[in-house]
Amino acid sequence: MVAAWQHHGLVNRSTTQASDRSTTGIDFLRLDLADAPRGGLSAWLAARIREAIAQGALQAGTRLPASRDLAADLGVSRGVVTEGYRRLAEGGYVVARGRAGTVVAPRPSAVHPRGARVGATPSVRFEAPDLGVFDALRSSKARIDLTPGVPDLASFPRSAWLRSERAVLDDLPSGGLGYAEPAGVPVFRAAVASWLARYRGIGARADEVVVVAGVAQALAILARVLPDHGIDRIAVEDPGSFGARRHLEAWGMSTTPVVVDEHGLDVAALVADGAPAALVTPAHQFPTGVVLGGARRRELLEWAAAGGMVIEDDYDAEHRYDRAPVTALRAATGEQICYTGSLSKTLAPSLRVGWLLVPDHLRARVVTAKRDLDLGNATLPQLTLARLMDSGDLERHLRSIRTRHRRRRDAMVAAIRTHSPGWQVHGSAAGLHLTVTYDGPPGSDVEVARAALDLGVKVHPLSWHRSAGGPPGLVLGYAASTPAQIEAGIALLSTTTLR
């Protein structure tokens, strides 16, 4: 087998020139078929090459042996090697370049502070997260992206979207290209009301729906409106979405953490805190995945009836796999509940389309705030989305991606059982992510996330989403990665938590 690896620059030259230095073989990967499991040659080969890349033995740009040459040297069929290379390509470890062969993919480029020497500092300052750190992590390149909150973007229904958009343009009069109502196009608001009735059990009129540029803008609008009604502080879940908390604070709202346990938000602690409002994710708590328990739901609704304001972020409630749907809090009452959701987890975050329902006494101020911010969302996407909803195309897409997301969830759970059986898995029954915790000092997950990024895997440390201390953990998105990428990513992550 020496010839193939030597030809491609993959031989440990110091060993070939002085064979007495090594008694374990010339090939630096030391590929020995005796180590391979029966029926798993391709997976074994991919794993060995993946390990060599992760350890730096195979550098970016290194050309791997031709599949025919390597198969001959190993004494296996060419299909074994091509399948192994295919798995590596799916995981982002190698790139096929036609006649140039298969080469090791570049490692993720580091994002360094201005003026810093390359290699002197980590690419993301994990210790003190802020929105800038989130942006830096989002823009950093990684072979395997397991950050939470992103659906399978490759499955975006392009054909259905184009059909709907063409139909809209065929029927739209010239006047329809002018400014729309700040609250949204009526036909889309009606489609949203129908969608919420079918999927979330919410009975709302079309004129109650305010179209916004995602949940982030909904929070910004509420942060502008609620202080005029005596609300200048909002309780947030702990652990809870760091991004949501920072959005509220950026618009001048104070936040205080309230503990989340295995039953969801601790309403007794909320009452004791004295905050006049609370931001909650009751259907699939972020990041733990806990469903707000029945007793807690009743307590929270009683707190709202007594004057508290609930902001319900229903961010990925349509995605469920192993349990029945949980109705929205807004389905129980329209009073004292501000409900917000979006299409970011169902279609794509880039659409920047969501909705906000508020109690009657807030609606006029909310629409005014929306007008002041941007005059209203773009008309054409709203009309196209209305067609997708009314035609059933969006519903068919949701069913399709649920199946795909379930397979990827299963792949992640299986990979965790194989590579990190000591991890505890939370919140896997629904959504687009799960959370794992493991033994270790609080905050050590920050170092794990940094080490993972160095290996080409992006994750969120659970500590980023905590205000108080707690066991270390990772928040892992699975929807946007293939099963092969997920397996490879978990394998690499396991090495960081075992150090």
pLDDT for residue 107 = 57
Task: Look at residue 26 in the predicted model and tell me its pLDDT.
Answer: 31
- The CATH homologous superfamily to which domain 131-154+397-497 belongs is Aspartate Aminotransferase, domain 1 (3.90.1150.10)
d(CA 29, CA 395): 49
Give the closest residue to 101 by CA, choosing from 71, 61, 72.
Answer: 61
At 267 the pLDDT is 97
The DSSP call for residue 121 is S
- Length of the chain in residues, anyone? 499
Instruction: Specify the CATH number of the domain 2-104.
Output: 1.10.10.10
pLDDT at 430: 87
Cα distance between residue 489 and residue 145, in whole Å = 8
Note the pLDDT of residue 255. Answer: 95
Q: Specify the 3-state DSSP secondary structure of 257.
A: strand
pLDDT of residue 42: 84
**Torsion over CA: 306, 307, 308, 309 (sign):** positive
Task: Pick 158-393's CATH classification: 3.40.47.10, 3.30.565.10, 3.40.640.10, 3.40.50.720.
Answer: 3.40.640.10
pLDDT of the residue at 497: 67
- pLDDT reported for residue 305: 95
Exposed / middle / buried, residue 435 (Cβ in 10 Å: 0-12, 13-18, 19+)? buried
Tokens of 116: 């810093």
* Cα separation, 281 vs 231, whole angstroms: 20
Q: Given this model, what pLDDT does residue 149 score?
A: 87
Domains 131-154+397-497 and 158-393 share a fold: no
Backbone angles phi, psi at 115, to 5 degrees: 85, -5
For the chain, the domains span 2-104, 131-154+397-497, 158-393
pLDDT at 27: 54
pLDDT in tens, the chain (499 residues): 333 333 333 333 333 333 332 222 235 477 777 777 766 788 888 888 888 887 777 888 888 888 888 888 888 888 888 888 888 877 678 888 777 788 888 754 333 333 333 232 344 554 545 555 566 666 677 889 999 988 999 999 999 999 999 999 999 999 889 998 999 999 999 999 999 998 899 999 999 999 999 999 999 999 999 999 999 999 999 999 988 998 899 899 999 999 999 999 999 999 999 999 999 999 999 999 999 999 999 999 999 999 999 999 998 878 888 777 788 999 999 899 999 999 999 999 999 999 999 999 999 999 999 999 999 999 999 999 999 999 999 999 999 999 999 999 999 999 999 999 999 999 998 889 999 999 887 768 888 888 888 889 999 999 889 888 788 999 999 999 999 999 999 999 988 865 4
